[in-house]
Amino acid sequence: MGNGPAVTAFLVGAVVSLATSWLLVTRLERIGERFGLSEALLGLAAALAADTPEITASVTALSNHERTVGAGVVLGSNVFNLAALLGLGAVVAGTIVLHRRVVLLGGAVAVLVALVCLAAVTGALPVGAALGLVLVVLVPYILVLGAHRGLSTLLSLPPRWSAWIDAAVVEEEQELEEAIAPRRGRPLDIAVAAVALVVVVTASVAMERGASVLGRRHHVAEILVGGLVLAAVTSLPNAVAAVYLAAKGRGAATWSTALNSNTLNVVVGLLIPGAILGLARPTAPGNLIAAWCLGLTVLTVILAYAGRGLRRWAGTVVILAYAGFVAALLALA
Protein backbone atom coordinates (compact mmCIF):
# COMPACT_ATOMS: atom_id res chain seq x y z
CA MET A 1 0.00 0.00 0.00
CA GLY A 2 1.50 3.33 -1.09
CA ASN A 3 1.41 6.61 0.77
CA GLY A 4 -1.62 7.90 -1.12
CA PRO A 5 -3.83 4.84 -0.55
CA ALA A 6 -2.68 4.62 3.08
CA VAL A 7 -3.59 8.26 3.76
CA THR A 8 -6.95 7.75 2.02
CA ALA A 9 -7.65 4.57 4.00
CA PHE A 10 -6.84 6.30 7.28
CA LEU A 11 -8.84 9.47 6.63
CA VAL A 12 -11.88 7.86 5.01
CA GLY A 13 -11.87 5.03 7.54
CA ALA A 14 -11.72 7.50 10.43
CA VAL A 15 -14.54 9.71 9.12
CA VAL A 16 -16.83 6.81 8.22
CA SER A 17 -16.23 4.80 11.41
CA LEU A 18 -16.67 7.77 13.73
CA ALA A 19 -19.78 9.08 11.94
CA THR A 20 -21.42 5.67 11.74
CA SER A 21 -20.63 4.83 15.36
CA TRP A 22 -23.10 7.54 16.37
CA LEU A 23 -25.79 5.79 14.35
CA LEU A 24 -24.88 2.51 16.03
CA VAL A 25 -25.06 4.09 19.50
CA THR A 26 -28.53 5.59 18.97
CA ARG A 27 -29.97 2.40 17.52
CA LEU A 28 -28.58 0.23 20.33
CA GLU A 29 -30.09 2.61 22.86
CA ARG A 30 -33.48 2.22 21.17
CA ILE A 31 -33.11 -1.57 21.08
CA GLY A 32 -32.20 -1.57 24.77
CA GLU A 33 -35.25 0.56 25.54
CA ARG A 34 -37.43 -1.90 23.61
CA PHE A 35 -36.18 -4.77 25.79
CA GLY A 36 -36.59 -2.80 29.02
CA LEU A 37 -32.94 -2.26 29.98
CA SER A 38 -32.30 0.11 32.86
CA GLU A 39 -30.81 3.52 32.11
CA ALA A 40 -27.49 2.37 33.60
CA LEU A 41 -27.35 -0.64 31.29
CA LEU A 42 -28.38 1.55 28.34
CA GLY A 43 -25.41 3.76 29.18
CA LEU A 44 -23.13 0.72 29.26
CA ALA A 45 -24.43 -0.45 25.86
CA ALA A 46 -23.95 3.03 24.43
CA ALA A 47 -20.37 3.14 25.74
CA LEU A 48 -19.62 -0.22 24.13
CA ALA A 49 -21.05 0.94 20.80
CA ALA A 50 -19.08 4.19 20.91
CA ASP A 51 -15.94 2.15 21.66
CA THR A 52 -16.31 0.09 18.48
CA PRO A 53 -13.68 2.07 16.49
CA GLU A 54 -10.91 1.71 19.09
CA ILE A 55 -11.81 -1.89 19.89
CA THR A 56 -11.79 -2.82 16.21
CA ALA A 57 -8.51 -0.97 15.63
CA SER A 58 -6.93 -2.79 18.58
CA VAL A 59 -8.14 -6.24 17.52
CA THR A 60 -7.02 -5.60 13.93
CA ALA A 61 -3.54 -4.61 15.11
CA LEU A 62 -3.28 -7.64 17.42
CA SER A 63 -4.40 -10.02 14.65
CA ASN A 64 -1.72 -8.55 12.35
CA HIS A 65 0.97 -9.14 14.98
CA GLU A 66 1.22 -5.40 15.69
CA ARG A 67 0.70 -6.01 19.38
CA THR A 68 2.29 -2.77 20.51
CA VAL A 69 -0.16 -0.82 18.34
CA GLY A 70 -3.08 -2.83 19.73
CA ALA A 71 -2.20 -2.21 23.35
CA GLY A 72 -1.40 1.41 22.58
CA VAL A 73 -4.81 2.07 21.04
CA VAL A 74 -6.69 0.82 24.09
CA LEU A 75 -4.52 2.29 26.83
CA GLY A 76 -3.83 5.54 24.99
CA SER A 77 -7.54 5.89 24.34
CA ASN A 78 -8.25 5.44 28.05
CA VAL A 79 -5.78 8.16 29.03
CA PHE A 80 -7.20 10.44 26.32
CA ASN A 81 -10.74 9.73 27.52
CA LEU A 82 -9.94 10.93 31.03
CA ALA A 83 -8.45 14.16 29.71
CA ALA A 84 -10.96 14.89 26.93
CA LEU A 85 -14.17 13.55 28.47
CA LEU A 86 -13.69 14.56 32.10
CA GLY A 87 -10.87 17.12 32.10
CA LEU A 88 -12.04 19.11 29.09
CA GLY A 89 -15.67 18.57 30.09
CA ALA A 90 -15.01 20.18 33.47
CA VAL A 91 -13.11 23.10 31.91
CA VAL A 92 -15.86 23.79 29.36
CA ALA A 93 -18.75 23.35 31.81
CA GLY A 94 -17.04 25.04 34.76
CA THR A 95 -17.89 22.07 36.97
CA ILE A 96 -19.10 18.49 36.70
CA VAL A 97 -21.22 17.88 39.81
CA LEU A 98 -21.21 14.28 41.03
CA HIS A 99 -22.68 12.32 43.92
CA ARG A 100 -19.91 10.70 45.95
CA ARG A 101 -21.63 7.30 45.74
CA VAL A 102 -21.60 7.54 41.93
CA VAL A 103 -17.89 8.45 42.01
CA LEU A 104 -17.02 5.48 44.22
CA LEU A 105 -19.15 2.90 42.39
CA GLY A 106 -17.79 3.57 38.93
CA GLY A 107 -14.38 4.69 40.16
CA ALA A 108 -13.68 1.51 42.12
CA VAL A 109 -14.37 -0.66 39.08
CA ALA A 110 -12.27 1.56 36.79
CA VAL A 111 -9.29 1.59 39.18
CA LEU A 112 -9.36 -2.19 39.69
CA VAL A 113 -9.56 -2.82 35.94
CA ALA A 114 -6.69 -0.39 35.27
CA LEU A 115 -4.59 -2.07 37.98
CA VAL A 116 -5.12 -5.56 36.56
CA CYS A 117 -4.44 -4.23 33.05
CA LEU A 118 -1.09 -2.81 34.24
CA ALA A 119 -0.18 -6.19 35.70
CA ALA A 120 -0.98 -7.89 32.38
CA VAL A 121 0.91 -5.38 30.22
CA THR A 122 4.03 -5.50 32.40
CA GLY A 123 3.99 -9.30 32.45
CA ALA A 124 3.38 -9.52 36.18
CA LEU A 125 0.16 -11.44 35.51
CA PRO A 126 -0.73 -13.80 32.63
CA VAL A 127 -3.31 -12.22 30.35
CA GLY A 128 -5.77 -15.09 30.90
CA ALA A 129 -5.58 -14.64 34.67
CA ALA A 130 -5.98 -10.88 34.23
CA LEU A 131 -9.12 -11.42 32.16
CA GLY A 132 -10.53 -13.73 34.81
CA LEU A 133 -9.90 -11.20 37.59
CA VAL A 134 -11.50 -8.39 35.60
CA LEU A 135 -14.59 -10.48 34.90
CA VAL A 136 -14.90 -11.21 38.63
CA VAL A 137 -15.29 -7.44 39.08
CA LEU A 138 -17.19 -6.61 35.89
CA VAL A 139 -19.92 -9.27 36.01
CA PRO A 140 -21.24 -8.25 39.48
CA TYR A 141 -21.01 -4.61 38.38
CA ILE A 142 -23.24 -5.32 35.37
CA LEU A 143 -25.64 -7.21 37.63
CA VAL A 144 -25.71 -4.21 39.94
CA LEU A 145 -26.58 -1.89 37.06
CA GLY A 146 -29.24 -4.19 35.67
CA ALA A 147 -30.88 -5.54 38.79
CA HIS A 148 -30.06 -3.29 41.72
CA ARG A 149 -33.53 -3.76 43.18
CA GLY A 150 -33.37 -6.71 45.58
CA LEU A 151 -29.61 -6.85 45.18
CA SER A 152 -29.02 -8.25 48.67
CA THR A 153 -30.92 -11.38 47.67
CA LEU A 154 -29.28 -11.64 44.26
CA LEU A 155 -25.66 -11.28 45.43
CA SER A 156 -26.09 -12.17 49.12
CA LEU A 157 -24.85 -8.75 50.20
CA PRO A 158 -25.45 -7.29 53.67
CA PRO A 159 -28.52 -5.02 53.69
CA ARG A 160 -26.43 -1.89 54.36
CA TRP A 161 -24.22 -2.58 51.32
CA SER A 162 -27.24 -3.32 49.18
CA ALA A 163 -28.92 -0.08 50.24
CA TRP A 164 -25.76 1.92 49.46
CA ILE A 165 -25.42 0.40 45.99
CA ASP A 166 -29.13 0.90 45.32
CA ALA A 167 -28.75 4.59 46.15
CA ALA A 168 -25.65 4.95 43.95
CA VAL A 169 -27.33 3.35 40.94
CA VAL A 170 -30.51 5.39 41.42
CA GLU A 171 -28.47 8.62 41.54
CA GLU A 172 -26.65 7.64 38.35
CA GLU A 173 -29.84 6.63 36.57
CA GLN A 174 -31.52 9.94 37.39
CA GLU A 175 -28.82 11.64 35.33
CA LEU A 176 -28.73 9.02 32.58
CA GLU A 177 -32.51 9.04 32.12
CA GLU A 178 -32.39 12.63 30.87
CA ALA A 179 -29.09 12.23 29.04
CA ILE A 180 -30.12 9.16 27.01
CA ALA A 181 -33.93 9.22 26.78
CA PRO A 182 -34.19 6.98 23.69
CA ARG A 183 -37.47 6.22 22.03
CA ARG A 184 -38.69 2.63 21.95
CA GLY A 185 -36.94 0.68 19.21
CA ARG A 186 -38.57 -0.99 16.24
CA PRO A 187 -37.48 -4.08 14.27
CA LEU A 188 -35.98 -1.70 11.68
CA ASP A 189 -33.58 -0.39 14.34
CA ILE A 190 -32.12 -3.89 14.76
CA ALA A 191 -31.38 -4.07 11.03
CA VAL A 192 -29.89 -0.57 11.01
CA ALA A 193 -27.69 -1.41 14.02
CA ALA A 194 -26.41 -4.57 12.29
CA VAL A 195 -25.52 -2.67 9.12
CA ALA A 196 -23.94 0.16 11.12
CA LEU A 197 -21.82 -2.33 13.07
CA VAL A 198 -20.50 -3.86 9.83
CA VAL A 199 -19.69 -0.41 8.43
CA VAL A 200 -17.94 0.75 11.62
CA VAL A 201 -15.84 -2.41 11.85
CA THR A 202 -14.86 -2.31 8.17
CA ALA A 203 -13.97 1.38 8.26
CA SER A 204 -12.02 0.98 11.52
CA VAL A 205 -9.97 -1.86 10.01
CA ALA A 206 -9.11 0.39 7.05
CA MET A 207 -8.20 3.24 9.41
CA GLU A 208 -5.88 1.05 11.48
CA ARG A 209 -4.19 -0.47 8.43
CA GLY A 210 -3.63 2.95 6.90
CA ALA A 211 -2.15 4.36 10.10
CA SER A 212 0.12 1.34 10.61
CA VAL A 213 1.42 1.47 7.02
CA LEU A 214 2.14 5.19 7.30
CA GLY A 215 3.84 4.67 10.65
CA ARG A 216 6.18 1.98 9.30
CA ARG A 217 6.93 3.94 6.13
CA HIS A 218 7.85 7.09 8.05
CA HIS A 219 9.58 5.25 10.91
CA VAL A 220 7.10 6.28 13.58
CA ALA A 221 7.20 3.99 16.62
CA GLU A 222 4.23 1.61 16.92
CA ILE A 223 3.47 2.83 20.44
CA LEU A 224 3.02 6.37 19.07
CA VAL A 225 0.80 5.20 16.22
CA GLY A 226 -1.45 3.34 18.64
CA GLY A 227 -1.07 5.28 21.88
CA LEU A 228 -1.38 8.79 20.46
CA VAL A 229 -2.72 8.90 16.89
CA LEU A 230 -5.27 6.08 16.77
CA ALA A 231 -6.13 6.49 20.46
CA ALA A 232 -7.10 10.13 20.04
CA VAL A 233 -8.89 9.77 16.70
CA THR A 234 -11.02 6.79 17.77
CA SER A 235 -12.04 8.51 21.02
CA LEU A 236 -13.37 11.72 19.45
CA PRO A 237 -17.08 10.68 19.43
CA ASN A 238 -17.00 9.97 23.16
CA ALA A 239 -15.19 13.24 23.80
CA VAL A 240 -17.74 15.34 21.91
CA ALA A 241 -20.65 13.59 23.65
CA ALA A 242 -19.11 13.97 27.11
CA VAL A 243 -18.34 17.68 26.70
CA TYR A 244 -21.93 18.23 25.53
CA LEU A 245 -23.32 16.34 28.55
CA ALA A 246 -21.03 18.21 30.95
CA ALA A 247 -22.12 21.56 29.51
CA LYS A 248 -25.76 20.52 30.05
CA GLY A 249 -25.09 19.63 33.70
CA ARG A 250 -25.39 15.88 33.23
CA GLY A 251 -22.46 15.04 35.51
CA ALA A 252 -23.14 11.37 36.23
CA ALA A 253 -23.72 10.68 32.54
CA THR A 254 -20.32 12.22 31.71
CA TRP A 255 -18.64 10.22 34.46
CA SER A 256 -20.33 6.99 33.39
CA THR A 257 -19.43 7.54 29.72
CA ALA A 258 -15.74 8.00 30.51
CA LEU A 259 -15.20 5.22 33.05
CA ASN A 260 -17.41 2.58 31.44
CA SER A 261 -15.80 3.29 28.09
CA ASN A 262 -12.35 2.72 29.60
CA THR A 263 -13.39 -0.49 31.33
CA LEU A 264 -14.93 -1.93 28.17
CA ASN A 265 -11.89 -0.89 26.12
CA VAL A 266 -9.64 -2.95 28.36
CA VAL A 267 -11.88 -6.02 28.50
CA VAL A 268 -13.14 -6.23 24.91
CA GLY A 269 -10.31 -4.46 23.09
CA LEU A 270 -7.27 -5.83 24.93
CA LEU A 271 -7.72 -8.68 27.41
CA ILE A 272 -10.12 -10.90 25.44
CA PRO A 273 -8.19 -10.72 22.12
CA GLY A 274 -4.92 -10.74 24.10
CA ALA A 275 -5.90 -14.02 25.78
CA ILE A 276 -6.39 -15.51 22.29
CA LEU A 277 -3.67 -13.79 20.26
CA GLY A 278 -1.20 -12.77 22.95
CA LEU A 279 0.03 -9.37 24.12
CA ALA A 280 3.22 -7.53 23.23
CA ARG A 281 6.32 -8.20 25.30
CA PRO A 282 6.76 -5.65 28.09
CA THR A 283 8.57 -2.49 26.96
CA ALA A 284 9.35 0.79 28.69
CA PRO A 285 6.85 2.81 26.57
CA GLY A 286 4.17 0.14 26.99
CA ASN A 287 4.68 0.00 30.74
CA LEU A 288 4.60 3.79 30.88
CA ILE A 289 1.27 4.07 29.10
CA ALA A 290 -0.33 1.38 31.31
CA ALA A 291 1.04 2.96 34.48
CA TRP A 292 -0.09 6.42 33.41
CA CYS A 293 -3.56 5.06 32.70
CA LEU A 294 -3.79 3.68 36.24
CA GLY A 295 -2.28 6.78 37.83
CA LEU A 296 -4.55 9.21 36.00
CA THR A 297 -7.60 7.08 36.80
CA VAL A 298 -6.73 7.15 40.51
CA LEU A 299 -6.04 10.89 40.40
CA THR A 300 -9.33 11.63 38.66
CA VAL A 301 -11.32 9.54 41.15
CA ILE A 302 -9.63 11.26 44.11
CA LEU A 303 -10.28 14.73 42.67
CA ALA A 304 -13.92 13.89 41.90
CA TYR A 305 -14.57 12.39 45.34
CA ALA A 306 -12.86 15.18 47.28
CA GLY A 307 -14.63 17.92 45.34
CA ARG A 308 -17.99 16.17 44.94
CA GLY A 309 -17.32 16.45 41.24
CA LEU A 310 -14.68 18.01 39.01
CA ARG A 311 -14.17 21.76 39.12
CA ARG A 312 -12.49 23.73 36.35
CA TRP A 313 -9.14 23.66 38.18
CA ALA A 314 -9.37 19.88 38.61
CA GLY A 315 -10.16 19.47 34.91
CA THR A 316 -7.09 21.56 34.12
CA VAL A 317 -4.97 19.27 36.31
CA VAL A 318 -6.23 16.20 34.41
CA ILE A 319 -5.49 17.85 31.03
CA LEU A 320 -1.98 18.83 32.16
CA ALA A 321 -1.42 15.25 33.30
CA TYR A 322 -2.31 14.10 29.78
CA ALA A 323 0.13 16.64 28.32
CA GLY A 324 2.79 15.17 30.59
CA PHE A 325 1.88 11.70 29.33
CA VAL A 326 2.35 12.79 25.70
CA ALA A 327 5.73 14.36 26.50
CA ALA A 328 6.94 11.29 28.42
CA LEU A 329 5.81 8.89 25.69
CA LEU A 330 7.51 10.94 22.98
CA ALA A 331 10.69 10.95 25.03
CA LEU A 332 10.71 7.17 25.43
CA ALA A 333 9.52 6.13 21.95
**One-letter identity of residue 107:** G
Q: What percent of the chain has pLDDT over 90?
A: 19
d(CA 196, CA 187): 15
Of residues 65 and 273, more confidence is placed in: 273
Confidence of residue 175 (pLDDT cuts 50, 70, 90): low
Phi-psi region at 279: left, alpha or beta (left = phi > 0; alpha = psi -120 to 50): beta
**55/239: higher pLDDT:** 55
**pLDDT above 70: residue 101:** yes
Distances (CA, A) of 238 to 21, 44, 244, 254, 332: 10, 13, 10, 9, 28
Show the domain range for 322.
3-332
**Whole-number pLDDT of residue 129:** 93
Classify residue 57 by burial, with Cβ atoms within 10 Å: 0-12, 13-18, 19+. Answer: buried
The 10s digit of each residue's pLDDT in 261-279 is 899 889 988 899 888 888 8
The mean pLDDT of the chain is 78
Q: Tally the domains of the chain.
A: 1
Between helices 39-50 and 52-63, what is the axis angle to 10°?
A: 50
pLDDT value, residue 10: 67
pLDDT for 114 beyond 90: yes
Residue that wins the pLDDT comparison between 157 and 125? 125
84 vs 24 pLDDT, higher one:
84
Confidence of residue 206 (pLDDT cuts 50, 70, 90): confident
In tens, the pLDDT along 212-226 reads: 776 677 777 777 777
What digits encode the pLDDT tens for the residues 279-324? 878 888 888 889 999 999 999 999 999 988 889 999 999 999 999 9
- Lowest average pLDDT, out of 77-81, 106-110, 173-177, goes to 173-177
Lowest mean pLDDT among 23-27, 93-97, 108-112, 318-322: 23-27
User: Is pLDDT of 181 > 60?
Assistant: no
CATH of the domain at 82: 1.20.1420.30
At 327 the pLDDT is 92
Residue with more model confidence, 250 or 265: 265
pLDDT (0 to 100) of residue 149: 53
